[in-house]
Amino acid sequence: MKTAILASGNGTNFEVLAKHFQAGDLPGELALLFCNHPDAPVMARAKRLGVPAVSFTVKSCGGKAAYEEKLLAVLQEYQIDFIVLAGYLRVVGPTILEHYDHRIINLHPAWLPEYPGLHSIERAFADHRSQTGVTVHYIDAGLDSGPIIAQCHVPILETDTEESLERRVHDTEHQLYPLALKQALTALNKKEN
36 is an annotated ligand-binding site residue:
no
Read off the pLDDT of each residue in 185-192 and give the average, rounded to a whole number: 90
- Count other C-beta atoms under 10 Å from residue 89's C-beta: 12
160 beta partners: none
Say what the pLDDT of residue 193 is.
75
Q: Is 106 annotated as a binding residue?
A: yes
Portions of the chain given CATH number 3.40.50.170: 1-101, 107-193
Topology of domain 1-101, CATH:
Rossmann fold (3.40.50)
| Cα–Cα distance measured from residue 84 to residue 139, given in angstroms and rounded to the nearest whole number | 10
pLDDT tens-digit series, residues 164-186: 999 999 999 999 999 999 999 99
* Average pLDDT value for residue range 121-141: 97
Predicted pLDDT at 44: 97
pLDDT of residue 61: 96
Average pLDDT over residues 152-159: 97
Which of 37, 108, 137, 170 is catalytic? The answer is 108
Check whether 161 has a pLDDT greater than 80. Answer: yes
Work out the pLDDT band at 189, boundaries 50, 70, 90.
confident
For the chain, the straight-line distance linking the first and the last C-alpha, in angstroms and rounded, comes to: 11
Instruction: Give the integer Cα–Cα distance in Å for 32 and 35.
Output: 10
Q: Is 108 a catalytic residue?
A: yes
CA 48 to chain centre: 20
138 neighbors 102 (Cβ within 8 angstroms): yes
According to the annotation, is 64 in a ligand binding site?
yes
Give the pLDDT confidence score for residue 103 in this predicted structure: 97
- The pTM score is 0.96
Q: What is the mean pLDDT of residues 77-92?
A: 96
Collapsing DSSP to helix, strand or coil, 16 comes out as: helix
Q: Is 13 annotated as a binding residue?
A: yes
DSSP secondary structure of 114-177:
SS-SS-HHHHHHHTT-SEEEEEEEE--SSSS-SPEEEEEEEE--TT--HHHHHHHHHHHHHHHH
Residue 98 C-alpha from the chain's centroid: 18
Tell me the average pLDDT of the chain.
96
Domain covering 107-193, topology: Rossmann fold (3.40.50)
What are the tens digits of pLDDT across the range 24-79? 999 999 999 999 999 999 999 999 999 999 999 999 999 999 999 999 999 999 99
